[in-house]
Amino acid sequence: MESIGKLSTRVVEHLRDPLVKSAVRVKSSIMGEAGKFLRGKEFVELLPTIISPITDPLNHEVHNAKFRYYDQEYRLTQSMIFHKQLACKTFDRIFIVSPNVRLETSEKALSGRHLFEFSQIDLEIRNAKRDDVMTLVEDLITTLIVEVKSSCKEELELLSSNPSIPTTPFTKVKFMDAYEQYGKDFETVLSSSFKEPFWLIDFPIWEREFYDLLSQDGRTLKDMDLILPNGFGETLSGGEREWEYQRIISRMEFKGNDPEELAWYMEIAEAGELVPTAGCGIGVERLTRYICSLDNVARTRLFPKVPGRSWI
Ligand code: AMP
Ligand code: MG
């Protein structure tokens, strides 16, 4: 185990690292511009839900982050998906800069893309379709890059980064087409060969959580990932959502989710109170890493939590 002395030296080195300082400044600009852009399109910003009895079950294994308070078990938010769906009963368009705690397993320590505390620019739109969200995000990402290039010239120079302004609309690649052509590591292969961000769409039903809307073909989902070029990989997941009780129940059975773990959400669904929505979450640290051409998302935060490595 690392001695406290060594750890504090590492913290101070990190806080003094000019690359970290520049990246955090760029991230601040990204968040400011994203807020301006979304408010300009009549999105209402919500404060994040940090703890709740219910949270995203996720599609991959993480350690449990839960605690008891009075007689209730709470979990730290892994994503705000269910609260976003419910918020769309109140507002047509919402967004949150949402902190997520995902206690990722330690083999993710070296990926350069994982933290166990990170943030999403999380948005959801009532009665929207996947295409609406993709068009909005293309506009948002392009605007962010243009704005950051003008407001953070010095920082980008110090980082030796010159992100190109993407051409819209972004290319769309179907999951199964890519899988058949390049095998199971297709995302890495395509991310390395593409020079522009692109969409990966139509994930097969077993690849994602129960809440991604199943298409009429009964096999693929109305969802998407945004993949960054030059090997930077995924920065966004989203899609249209399931909102009808019987469909949710059958998808939970398919995935092996326990409805008891989402008790009050399931009661709301059963009462027919969920509304159709579509949305997405953009990983702030991954987008910043791309715009700054950094090796590791840890450099995008002053106090990064790297799985299996960080104690700050
Ligand atoms: P998901 O819905 O699970 O795909 O998460 C949405 C976005 O959050 C992803 O596309 C990533 O950009 C980001 N993200 C997910 N997990 C992590 C993590 N452990 N560390 C940093 N960013 C993450
Ligand atoms: Mg994802």
For tokens 């995935």, the residue is: 255
Q: Is residue 310 part of a domain?
A: no
Ligand 1 atom nearest residue 297's Cα: 21
* 183 located within any domain: yes
Q: Considering the domain boundaries, does residue 307 fall inside one?
A: no
Question: Which ligand 1 atom lies nearest to the CA of residue 286?
Answer: 12
Per the prediction, the chain carries an average pLDDT of 96
The phi and psi torsions of 97 (rounded to 5 degrees) equal -90, 100
The pLDDT of residue 2: 54
Ligand 1 atom 8 nearest Cα: 283
Concatenated DSSP letters of 240-290: EB--SHHHHHHHHHHHT--GGGGHHHHHHHHTT----EEEEEEEHHHHHHH
The total domain count for the chain is 1
Ligand nearest to the CA of 284: 1
Residue 4: its pLDDT value, please? 60
How confident is the model over 84-91, as a mean pLDDT? Answer: 98
What are the tens digits of pLDDT across the range 149-202? 999 999 999 999 999 999 999 999 999 999 999 999 999 999 999 999 999 999
Q: What is the mean pLDDT of residues 43-65?
A: 96
In a domain, 98, yes or no: yes
Question: Which of the listed residues 108, 286, 289, 301 should we mutate to test ligand 1's pocket, taking the one with most ligand atoms within 8 A of CB?
Answer: 286
Q: Whose CA is nearest to atom 16 of ligand 1?
A: 114
pLDDT tops 90 at residue 207: yes
Helices (H), 17-129: 18-40, 81-87
Full domain range(s) for residue 239: 17-300
Residue nearest to atom 4 of ligand 1 (CA): 237
Cross-strand pairs, 278 = 125, 240
For residue 64, is it within any domain?
yes
The Å distance, Cα 239 to ligand 2 centre, comes to 11
Domain annotation covers residue 139: yes
Q: Closest Cα to residue 292, out of 114, 30, 110?
A: 30
Q: Is 208 in the pocket of ligand 1 (CB under 6 A)?
A: no
83 CB under 6 A from ligand 1?
no
Ligand nearest to the CA of 113: 1
* CB-ligand 1 contact for 102 (6 Å cutoff): yes
Distances, alpha carbon 287 to alpha carbons 54, 201, 305, in Å: 27, 19, 17
For residues 122 and 237, what is the distance between their CA atoms, to the nearest angstrom? 10
Q: What is the mean pLDDT of residues 266-294?
A: 98
**28 located within any domain:** yes
- Any domain includes 73: yes
pLDDT, tens digit, 9 for 90 and up, residues 106-115: 889 899 999 9
CATH code of the domain covering residue 177:
3.30.930.10
Quick check: CB of 119 below 6 Å from ligand 1?
no
